[in-house]
Chain A
Amino acid sequence: MLQKCPECGQYRYPPGETCPYCLSSNLEWEIVNGWGNVFSWVVFHQVYHRTFADDIPYTVVLIELDQGVRMISSLIDCRMEDIRIGLPVEVVFDDITNEISLPRFRPRTV
């Protein structure tokens, strides 16, 4: 789901109280297809937080969704050497706990 402004039709991410295009505060949620592509990506080689110590080196990707907004996420089912800018991806929800799911992405085959 993404926030969308019913008045000017623009999507916004990250979620907020007002539309940065027309300042409407009347934002709605819309279910989207979860498709996008890799806009940029980086590889962490240093431990910034111990939670990720065993994952080093790990990638973090910047996904541009088909709706035009971009979000930080991670890529699964993809070898590091296969990551490239423009790679088509689709969302996968990773259930971290019963209540929290993280949207991650995997290469799209269709």
Chain B
Amino acid sequence: MGLKNKCAITGLGYTVQGKVPDRSAMSFYIEAAKNAIADAGLSIRDIDGIIIQPCPTDSRITAFSLAQDMGLSLRFGADQQLQGASSCAIIQHAAMAVDAGLCDYCLCAFADTSRSASPTTGNIYQRAMSSDAAYGMFGVAASYAMIARRYTHEYGITSRQFGAVSVAFRHHASLNPIAQMRQPITIDDHQASRWVVEPLHLFDCCLVSDGGRALIVTSAERARNLAKSPVYIMGMGQGHPLSDPLQRKTVTETGAIESGKTAFSMAGITRKDIDVCSIYDAFSFAVPMQLEDLGFCTKGEGGAFFEDGHIALGGALPTNTSGGLLSEVYIQGWVGTHEVISQLRGDCGQRQVPDAELGLVTSSGGVLSTHATLILRR
């Protein structure tokens, strides 16, 4: 059904990441693109399509300015802004474009310099979002904190259970040589970490980083003849609830419900078949919430799911094995896509999930406002 197994992801591009001052966003896009092309064993001129997620710190960059700087004429190009949900959504659009014959090798890329770009004014994630600033309401974390409070109220989930998410992902990061935060933490460390916006502790919040990521989508057939083993796109879906989270009828459900349903239906597999997951973890509590919405556990049981170790390496559903946005790096949804693809390729070294065959990735933007899911197989 749909685009099942028709397209594949090849070529993963990374850059230096973390705190990387004095680098332009464009230089990260290009470094990531160059590395993705090399990883796939392609030449630069093979790229005939580009979709970028716009850079939060440099709005001048478009698919076409990137093409210009890479000396490429394109057959297909687009900028797609679904904020944090862009990665999985862009891969979906790239697959559609490839399947439709609009391009053969679609480069998908993103870069951010939020860690270093505006040190004097505070980073972009801390600014006033609306006139609600008159009440002292600033930044992204506060809106998530409003939802986290409702989540604890409606389902009895606790801050210690949020902490179990952060502890598990930090453990994963300790096994990842490129992770920003590799020092293991305990639940007590989580509880003792300073409040950012209560009920969210520092260790409930993702990092802010510099860096870029890229990958290449092509047809399943072309992918089989390239340097790296292909990772096939089995299922895809999106779900976008009301954009203003605080006006949604319920604030404790996400677009993962719709997004996951569509993706699983296209892939024709069940939740039990998934070997490895990356769930968009801008804030710890959003991980159990999405796992509930995706149907991995019932609503309200996500917290216990983590405490029981299900999602740790060695558990039934190893999740965010790179450390995720909480502990590896914050390059939005591209952290999850790259990690699951690497797992399915068997490239994860110490943190490899044995024999991982099927993976799921989610990406989520705004304040749980946009959502996209991918189901991948090796």
Contacts and interface: CB of A to CB of B under 8 A. Distances in A.
Instruction: Answer yes or no: do A and B interact.
Output: yes
Interface of A: 13-14, 39-46, 48-49, 51-52, 55, 57-58, 60, 62, 69-70, 72-74, 85, 102, 104
11 contacts: A13-B247, A39-B150, A40-B146, A42-B145, A44-B198, A45-B194, A45-B195, A49-B138, A60-B132, A70-B246, A72-B135
Given A42-B149, A85-B149, A85-B150, 6 more contacts: A40-B150, A40-B251, A60-B135, A60-B142, A85-B153, A102-B134
A49 B150 contact: no
Contacts of A55: 136
B196 interface: yes
Contact of B246 (A44, A57, A58, A62): A62
Contacts of B145: 42
Contact of A102 (B126, B135, B199): B135
B284 to A, nearest CB: 15
B139 interface: yes
B26 to A, nearest CB: 29
Contacts of B149: 40-42, 85
Contact of A48 (B126, B147, B150, B153): B126
A46 B197 contact: yes
A102 B139 CA distance: 20
Contacts of B139: 48
A27 B273 CA distance: 51
B153 A72 contact: no
Contact of A62 (B128, B146, B197, B199): B146
Contact of B199 (A42, A58, A60, A73): A42
B44 interface: no
Contact of A44 (B130, B153, B194, B197): B197
B122 A48 contact: yes
Contacts of A57: 195, 198
B143 to A, nearest CB: 9
Contacts of B199: 42
Nearest to A58: B136
A49 B149 CA distance: 23
A3 to B, nearest CB: 13
Contacts of B134: 102
A62 B153 CA distance: 14
A55 B134 CA distance: 13
A74 B133 CA distance: 11
B74 interface: no
B135 A46 contact: no
A-B pairs, top 3 by smallest CB distance, nearest first, are A48-B138, A43-B198, A45-B195
A74 B136 contact: yes
A109 B123 CA distance: 42
Contacts of A102: 134-135
Nearest to B248: A70
B135 A42 contact: no
Given A39-B150, A85-B149, A45 B136 contact: no
A42 B153 CA distance: 13
B195 A52 contact: no
Contacts of B197: 42-46
